[in-house]
Amino acid sequence: MNVPPIGPVADETPRPLPARIKLRGTHVELEPLHVRHTGELWHAMAASDASWAYLGYGPFASEQDLRRFIGDFATTHDPMAWAARPVATGVVTGWLTLMDIQPKHAAIELGHIWFGPAMQRTRAATEAMFLLLRLAADDLGYRRLVWKCNALNAPSVRAAKRLGFTHEGTLRAHLVVKGHLRDTAYYSIVESEWPARRDRILAWLDPSNFAPDGTALTSLSGAQSAGA
């Protein structure tokens, strides 16, 4: 009897759910998002209206509006949100989440990433994303790491490529966000790829990769670069 191809045998053990724990890196600390972060985040959002273009929420009209949003956002289990506190400033300047968590399929997404202008294109921003990817892949054992974004969101597309995600395709006319039709680009890193991606990010973050003025000597793509 001919058996159709059905893919390799997989470990069916469900992966653990992420826990609300603090994560510490060299350049950033991630704290479970809480309404106590509202004040710092409100100040970080000054002159940042353009950064909300591709998110389904924001910008916020007032600090109270932001507080109400965080009060709900910080208590959901999927997405699960962390506040990002760069070590250099000691001030919370953004947030990011693990989401679409599928323990039975060992798949998880890094998303809802918002960094204030002062944190964008910094080592702290790269390390913040890396800490959640490493938590998911190394600590919890997820074998599929997902990134998705509006296909027109050039900064998000660049970030996915820098981190080593592979483009899988684009879902056309996928969503309506803030009244606009969205094509959604999907990216992934799978289990066999993660060790090389992890080591490349760690090499980029290493102090030896930075000149005295803080300029990166190489980019995450491996090419010579000025900046992140």
Give the pLDDT confidence score for residue 222 in this predicted structure.
56
Q: Is the pLDDT of residue 226 over 70?
A: no
Q: Measured at the alpha carbon of residue 16, what is the angle toward residues 137 and 202, in degrees to the nearest 5?
A: 20
pTM of the complete model: 0.95
Where does 23-209 sit in CATH, by number? 3.40.630.30
Dump the DSSP string for 3-38: PPP-------PPPPPP----EE-SSEEEEE--GGGH
Q: Is the pLDDT of residue 228 over 50?
A: no
Domain range summary for the chain, segments of one domain joined by +: 23-209
- Tens of pLDDT along 104-114? 999 999 999 99
Task: Point out the least confidently predicted range of 3-12, 74-83, 198-207.
Answer: 3-12
- Tens of pLDDT along 161-178? 999 999 999 999 999 999
Give the pLDDT confidence score for residue 37 in this predicted structure.
98
Dump the DSSP string for 117-151: TTTTTSHHHHHHHHHHHHIIIIIS--SEEEEEEET
DSSP 3-state of 104: helix
DSSP 3-state of 92: coil
Percent of the chain with pLDDT strictly greater than 70:
97
